[in-house]
Amino acid sequence: MTSGPQAAQTHLSAQQRHALGLLWQVLPEARLVGGVVRDLMMGRSVADVDLATPEPPEQVLATLKQAGIKAIPTGLAHGTVTAVIESAPYEITTLRRDVETDGRHAVVVWTADWREDAARRDFTINAMSRGRDGVLHDYFGGQQDLAQGRVRFVGNAATRIAEDALRILRFFRFQARYGRGQPDAEAIEAITAQAGLLRGLSVERIWSELKRLLTGPAVPETLSLMEQTGVLAVLFPNGVTGARLTRMVVEGAPADAVLRLAGLVPEDKGDLARRLKLSKAEAAFLKDVSSPPVPQPHMTDADLRRLLAQEPPEVLLGRTWLEQADRAEGGQVASAKAAEKNASSADWLAFRARLSALTPPVFPLAGRDVLAAGHPPGPQVGVVLEQVRAWWLADGCTAPAEACLAFLKKVLKSQS
């Protein structure tokens, strides 16, 4: 842990230091808050730089614009203005005090009291701030908690959860990233007792937090803790396959949130996508990655080219991770051959490298080629084209345009 004027600049990029210099010139009372404070204290590189300030958001907006800094009113109702410097965003939020909470949303008013603002934050390690002079302001023991790997609510855990149930999921995400040893007992007791409050949250907020959980560190351990506290049962009442996802993580599956969701939740993927209100791209990937056919290590390059001609590489690779996890459980897929069941981690690794090295083939003909060969316009053009494409696929997707045109002529001749 470090403090002092120089520490505030440690591990910031040159661009971030330049931007902060500009912002502190016009907002000298502003302080760094949130993750940037923790990252600087832990000597980690900083991804996002967020600040808080006592000035009202409208004043912040006007001050930035007057200084020639691009300013976007991203959330004036919540006190947030985003400064954009060299294409990078810097969120600046006015100090706030809650006047009303209902478990989902809070009604806030502005304040100039830094401690009051810190008191409304969820965890002690998230309630610290650091000024332009490098001095750390820590009202609730966050520095000690960070050093000891303890994620602790500010004030009473049950009260903070009742204010906003999303803090349950945020606890697990922070515990995975910063926690060490046994989690805070008061927090776990409160979460276990109030897990049902998650049902009152919008699914958009839940999925947004779940994505960060599923792509973060210590996923198996975190999900196990979520299961013990009853949180997973609330989020996925039809059950989960935590052991399957654990095998995926252990084997090195990429930290893709939708792929990991596919490995974790066995329910119908269409229903799951609708329930979590996934984006169109997320829903499509969830469905496709969970569907056959599944690439297998015994397949030839021709087999793989045929698959690549019909499915994106990322979908096929995702299927291999799900398949490997199922095989590792004991070859539970009934149609699997013994050799496929016994494929080792090294076999799967080599197979994925081979699959990734292949260039997805593109069928070289189109409907215009059928017309140019003398076939009259109409729905039969597509039928003929599909005949040629089937031949191209059967041949391993290597036949060039000339060979495909020659086969096309044979097809047309056979029809005349």
DSSP string computed for 131-147: -TT--EE-SSSHHHHHH
pLDDT tens column, 161-174: 999 999 999 999 99
In the structure, what pLDDT confidence band is assigned to residue 100 with cuts at 50, 70 and 90? low
Q: Spell out the residues 6+ positions from residue 24 whose beta carbon is closer than 8 angstroms to its own.
A: 30, 132
Structure tokens belonging to residue 298: 């015994």
C-alpha 283/C-alpha 250 separation (Å) is 25
Q: Is it the case that residue 105 has pLDDT exceeding 80?
A: no
Q: Please answer whether residues 124 and 141 qualify as being in contact, where contact means their C-beta atoms are separated by less than 8 angstroms.
A: yes
The CATH number, out of the four listed (1.10.3090.10, 3.30.1330.30, 1.20.1560.10, 3.40.50.300), of the domain defined by the range 150-235: 1.10.3090.10
Model confidence pLDDT, tens digit, residues 290-338:
999 999 999 999 999 999 999 999 999 999 999 999 998 654 444 444 4
Sign of CA dihedral 33, 34, 40, 44: negative
Q: Give yes or no for residue 81 having a pLDDT over 60.
A: yes
Q: Residue 341: what pLDDT?
A: 58
Confidence of residue 196 (pLDDT cuts 50, 70, 90): very high
| pLDDT score at 59 | 96
> Nearest-5° angle of CA 19, CA 64, CA 34?
55
Q: How large a percentage of the chain has pLDDT more than 70? A: 92
pLDDT above 60 for 96? yes
pLDDT of residue 338: 47
Average pLDDT estimate for 393-414: 96
Q: What count of Cα atoms within 13 Å lies in the side-chain half-sphere of residue 416?
A: 10
Percent of the chain at pLDDT exceeding 90: 88
pLDDT at 220: 97
Residue 1 pLDDT > 80: no
The confidence score (pLDDT) of residue 3 equals 44
How is the chain split into domains, by residue range? Answer: 1-148, 150-235, 239-361, 367-415
Which residues share a beta bridge with 101? 106
Residue at token pair 């699959």:
355
pLDDT tens digits along 250-271: 999 999 999 999 999 999 999 9
pLDDT band at residue 89 under the 50/70/90 scheme: very high
DSSP state of 245: H
Rounded CA gap, 118 and 139, in Å?
7
pLDDT-based confidence at residue 133 (cuts at 50, 70, 90): very high
Could you tell me the two tokens for 258? 């939708």
Give me the pLDDT at residue 10, please: 59
Please check the confidence at residue 241 and state whether its pLDDT lies above 90: yes
At 102 the pLDDT is: 57
Confidence band for 416, pLDDT divided at 50, 70 and 90: confident
**1-148 carries CATH number 3.30.460.10:** yes
**191 alpha-carbon distance from chain centroid:** 23
- pLDDT at 340 (0 to 100): 55
Q: What is the pLDDT of residues 5-43, one digit of tens each?
A: 444 455 899 999 999 999 999 999 999 999 999 999 999
Q: What is the pLDDT of residue 245?
A: 97
Label residue 239 left, alpha or beta by phi (over 0 means left) and psi (-120 to 50 means alpha): left
Show the DSSP H helices in 94-198 as ranges: 114-119, 142-148, 157-163, 167-178, 185-194
The mean pLDDT value of the chain amounts to: 92
Q: Is 150-235 in the same CATH topology as 1-148?
A: no
Q: Which two tokens stand for residue 107?
A: 């009604």
pLDDT at 331: 45
Residue 22 tokens, joined: 């500009």
Per-residue pLDDT at 155: 95
Structure tokens at 70: 């691009």
Q: What is the DSSP letter of 179?
A: -
Q: Are 340 and 296 in contact (CB under 8 A)?
A: yes
pLDDT tens for each residue of 215-226 = 999 999 999 999
Amino acid letter for position 200: G
Contact between 69 and 85 under an 8 Å Cβ cutoff? The reply is yes
- Residue 74: phi and psi, rounded to 5, are -70, -25
pLDDT at 244 over 60: yes
Decide if pLDDT at 75 tops 70.
yes
User: What pLDDT score does 78 carry?
Assistant: 86
Q: Is the pLDDT of residue 57 over 80?
A: yes
